[in-house]
């Protein structure tokens, strides 16, 4: 440590001597005391600089180094002074000579700085190499003009550029950098392949080549507007955006813009997401929902009235037969009335199912045990059935009505499909990694493999023909659970080839959907 300090002092004295000689040559007959900062202090300032500094002569030999540079690379001053600068810094004679050529000859007070634009490496005493930035300045001495080099550790910037390059190239959506002239400076392979090109095809091309003809006229104006007030934003809010494939086809996309500074240039980063598969799925789902709504509308309006007429006819026939009709006739009329009632229930279930496609946004604090108790108060279990409620979770934030509908259907299903006059139902509630896991188990007949595969489908029941009209309860439950971000499954049989367990996972917190309006993000449950 003493040796290093002594070495630093020698460097400071060397720089001070150089400064003194330059001062004496440029200001003959004056004293250093007249300077705002005496040369001895300038030497101390050189050594105290937080930036690594090295003085190099015209032969590229190290004349002086400061403490910051020694600390950064583990050397002592005697390891470097008098040795070629290339011993620890990949600085070429060409760069030094260029700096000397660019130097403003004395007595100009402001010599020009020369920044080495290419990447340089500095070698640590242990052999490791670090990327650095080097800026060269010159100053005159009585013998020659020397070069002062500032050496700045650029490893963090290099790491950032490497990370940025990796993220850019491996992104799972298209990305491009566009300059102020609207030309593509850089793009990733994903974007090129997505639009049917190679990267070489598009590099240097105007970005308009990626747009359909109808968008090109306004694109320049929109880009100038963005560059005048750059902000990270999504393009085309509220309207469909299309990209042009190499074969001339048009591809639905989402496009995002943001300003970036890369390699001392201001660029626009464009992200392009192919939404064609999503758009096709949305259209198919929309069509399916439209078909379902149309079917339920027809069922509601065109079937209810005839069914009501049939029910009225049956009632009139029963009145006409009097109080003592034949037993067979009375039995058949009863069966007709029962079928009419169940068909009316089926229509009501269809309407509820069709309306369940949208998530309920009215979220409240729900205690599942209290919710089950409320269901049982409205629809008590038949005599002979018992229910155990085991709850080990905190209340959740959820829409009450959909969750209540699901639990009511599961509990009702456990009773209606039981094959005995008595039974046991167990409701178990637990927290499960961000979900509330609710299990509804029974000791009924259970489900066969074939029944398990179709139990959540429309119009499917596990029981006999007498249960027609009840085949929408589980389909409705599944639809409501999934619309609100959960899932449901069936396990059966449980033990002794009997029993079933419907297990559902309901999000502990409501799921939201972000959308953009007026250029700003909004959220809905």
Per-residue pLDDT, 33? 37
Confidence of residue 440 (pLDDT cuts 50, 70, 90): very high
388 φ, ψ (degrees, to nearest 5): -110, 135
The residue out of 153, 184, 211 marking a domain boundary is: 153
Q: How far apart are CA 211 and CA 55, in angstroms?
A: 55
Q: How confident is the model at residue 121 (pLDDT cuts 50, 70, 90)?
A: confident
Res. 164: pLDDT tops 60: yes
132 and 179 in a single domain? The answer is no
Question: Strands 129-140 and 145-153: what pairing?
Answer: antiparallel
Percent of the chain with pLDDT over 70: 76
* Residue 338, domain extent: 281-355
Q: Residue 71: which CATH number?
A: 3.30.450.20
The confidence score (pLDDT) of residue 407 equals 93
Closest CA to 321 of 306, 332, 305: 332
Classify the C-alpha dihedral 336-340-341-346 as positive or negative. Answer: positive
What tens digit of pLDDT does each residue of 243-301 get? 899 998 888 888 888 888 777 778 888 899 998 888 888 888 788 778 777 777 776 76
pLDDT of residue 505: 95
Per-residue pLDDT at 221: 73
**Domain stop point among 153, 179, 195:** 153
In whole angstroms, give the CA distance from residue 425 to residue 44.
Answer: 87
Q: State whether 52 and 75 are in the same domain.
A: yes
Number of Cβ within 10 Å of residue 321's Cβ equals 13
pLDDT at 6 over 50: no
The whole-angstrom distance between residue 259's C-alpha and the CA centroid of its chain comes to: 19
More confident residue, 75 or 401: 75
Under a CB-based contact definition with an 8 Å cutoff, are residues 81 and 64 in contact?
A: yes
Categorize the per-residue pLDDT at 193 as very low, low, confident or very high, splitting at 50, 70 and 90. very high
Report the range of poorest mean pLDDT among 25-34, 35-44, 285-294, 364-373: 25-34
Please check whether residues 134 and 193 belong to one and the same domain. Answer: no
pLDDT digits (tens, 9 = 90+) for 301-324: 677 778 888 888 888 888 888 888
| CA–CA dist 434, 367 (Å, integer) | 16
Assess whether 362 and 495 both reside in one domain.
Answer: yes
What is the pLDDT averaged over residues 169-182? Answer: 89
**Whether residue 373 is found in the same domain as residue 518:** yes
d(CA 434, CA 393): 11
Report residue 113's pLDDT band, with 50, 70 and 90 as the boundaries: low
Give the residue-averaged pLDDT of 436-459.
Answer: 84
Does residue 149 sit in the same domain as residue 164? no
Q: Is the pLDDT of residue 460 over 60?
A: no
Residue 360 has pLDDT above 60, yes or no: no
* Strand 129-140 relative to strand 120-123, pairing: antiparallel
When comparing pLDDT for 338 and 346, which is higher?
A: 338
Looking at the 3D structure of the chain, how many domains does it have?
4
- pLDDT of 386 above 90: yes
Which residue among 327, 355, 383 closes a domain?
355
Task: Tell whether 39 and 179 lie within a shared domain.
Answer: no
Q: Is the pLDDT of residue 21 over 50?
A: yes
Q: Select, from the ranges 112-121, 312-321, 434-443, 450-459, the one with the highest average predicted confidence (pLDDT).
A: 434-443
Higher pLDDT, 100 or 1: 100
User: Distance between CA 45 and CA 16 in Å, rounded?
Assistant: 10
Give the lowest-confidence range in 107-111, 193-197, 236-240, 290-294.
107-111
Q: Are residues 518 and 375 in the same domain?
A: yes
| Residue 502's pLDDT band (cuts 50, 70, 90) | very high
Domain with residue 394: its CATH number is 3.30.565.10
Residue 8's pLDDT is: 52
Please tell me whether residues 213 and 101 are part of one structural domain.
no
Q: What percent of the chain has pLDDT over 90?
A: 22
The mean of the pLDDT values for the chain is 79
| 462-470: average pLDDT | 42
Model confidence band, residue 10 (pLDDT cutoffs 50, 70, 90)? low
> Average pLDDT in the 195-216 region?
89
Average pLDDT over residues 144-165: 79
Clarify whether residues 491 and 391 are in a common domain. Answer: yes
Classify residue 322 by burial, with Cβ atoms within 10 Å: 0-12, 13-18, 19+. Answer: exposed
| 216 CA to centre of own chain | 30
pLDDT of 31 > 70? The answer is no
pLDDT level of residue 108 (50, 70, 90 thresholds): very low
pLDDT (mean) for 457-467: 51
For 66-95, b/e burial (b = at least 16 CB within 10 A) is bbbbbebbebebebbbeeebeebbbbeeeb
Q: Assess whether 289 and 227 both reside in one domain.
A: no
Q: Can you tell me the mean pLDDT for 127-136?
A: 86
| Higher pLDDT among residues 106 and 177, named by residue | 177
Is 60 exceeded by the pLDDT of residue 519? Answer: no
Please tell me the predicted confidence (pLDDT) of residue 466: 41
On the 0-12 / 13-18 / 19+ scale of CB atoms within 10 A, 500 is buried
> Is residue 512 very low, low, confident or very high in pLDDT (cuts 50, 70, 90)?
low
CB-neighbour burial class of residue 325 (10 A; exposed 0-12, middle 13-18, buried 19+): middle
Q: What is the DSSP letter of 498?
A: B
Tally of CB atoms within 10 A around 47: 20
Mean pLDDT of the 107-134 span = 74
Q: Indicate whether 21 and 89 sit together in one domain.
A: yes
pLDDT at 334: 85
Binned at pLDDT 50, 70 and 90, residue 29 comes out as very low
Does the pLDDT at position 223 exceed 70? yes
- The model carries a pTM of 0.48
Length in residues, the chain: 525
Q: What is the distance between the alpha carbons of residues 126 and 326, in angstroms, rounded to a whole number?
A: 110
Average pLDDT estimate for 430-458: 86
Of 470 and 483, the structure prediction assigns the larger pLDDT to 483
Tell me the mean pLDDT in the region 205-225.
80
């Amino acid at each position: 440590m003493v040796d290093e300090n002594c070495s630093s002092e020698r460097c400071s004295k060397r720089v001070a001597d150089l400064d003194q000689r330059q001062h004496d040559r440029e200001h003959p007959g004056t004293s250093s005391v007249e300077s705002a900062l005496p040369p001895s202090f300038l030497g101390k300032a050189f050594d105290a600089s937080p930036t690594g500094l090295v003085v190099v002569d015209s032969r590229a030999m190290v004349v002086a180094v400061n403490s910051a540079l020694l600390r950064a690379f583990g050397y002592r001053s005697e390891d470097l002074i008098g040795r070629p600068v290339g011993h620890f810094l990949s600085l070429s004679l060409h760069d030094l000579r260029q700096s000397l050529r660019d130097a403003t000859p004395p007595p100009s007070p402001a010599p020009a700085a020369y920044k080495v634009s290419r990447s340089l490496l500095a070698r640590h005493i242990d052999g490791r190499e670090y990327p650095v930035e080097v800026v060269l300045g010159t100053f005159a001495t009585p013998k020659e003009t020397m070069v002062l080099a500032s050496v700045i550790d650029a490893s963090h910037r290099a790491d950032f550029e490497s990370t940025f390059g990796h993220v850019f190239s491996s992104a799972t959506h298209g990305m491009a950098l566009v300059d102020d002239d609207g030309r593509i400076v850089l793009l990733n392979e994903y974007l090129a392949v997505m639009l049917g090109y190679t990267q070489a095809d598009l590099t240097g091309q105007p970005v308009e080549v990626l747009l359909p003809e109808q968008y090109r006229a306004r694109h320049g104006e929109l880009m100038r507007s963005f560059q005048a007030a750059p902000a990270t934003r999504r393009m085309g809010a509220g309207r469909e955006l299309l990209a042009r494939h190499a074969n001339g086809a048009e591809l639905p996309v989402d496009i995002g813009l943001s300003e970036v500074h890369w390699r001392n240039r201001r660029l626009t980063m464009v992200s392009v997401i192919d939404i064609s598969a999503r758009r096709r799925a949305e259209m198919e789902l929309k069509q399916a929902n439209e078909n379902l709504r149309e079917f339920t509308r027809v069922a509601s309006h065109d079937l209810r009235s005839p069914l009501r007429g049939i029910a009225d006819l049956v009632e009139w026939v029963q009145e006409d037969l009097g109080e003592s009709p034949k037993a067979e006739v009375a039995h058949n009329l009863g069966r007709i009335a029962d079928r009419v009632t169940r068909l009316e229930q089926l229509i009501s279930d269809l309407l509820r199912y069709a309306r369940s496609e949208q998530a309920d946004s009215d979220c409240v604090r729900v205690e599942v045990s209290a919710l089950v108790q409320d269901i049982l108060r409205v629809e008590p279990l038949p005599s002979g059935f018992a229910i155990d409620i085991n709850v080990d979770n905190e209340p959740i934030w959820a829409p009450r009505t959909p969750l209540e509908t699901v639990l009511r259907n599961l509990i009702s299903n456990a009773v209606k499909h039981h094959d005995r006059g008595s039974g046991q139902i167990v409701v178990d509630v637990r927290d499960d990694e961000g979900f509330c896991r609710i299990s509804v188990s029974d000791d009924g007949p259970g489900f066969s493999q074939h029944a398990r595969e179709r139990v959540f489908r429309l119009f499917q029941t596990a029981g006999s023909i007498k249960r027609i009209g009840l085949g929408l309860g589980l389909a409705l439950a599944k639809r409501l659970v999934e619309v609100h971000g959960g899932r449901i499954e069936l396990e059966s049989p449980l033990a002794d080839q009997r029993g079933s367990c419907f297990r559902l996972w309901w999000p502990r917190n409501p799921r939201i959907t972000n959308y953009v309006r007026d250029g700003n993000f909004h959220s809905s449950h």
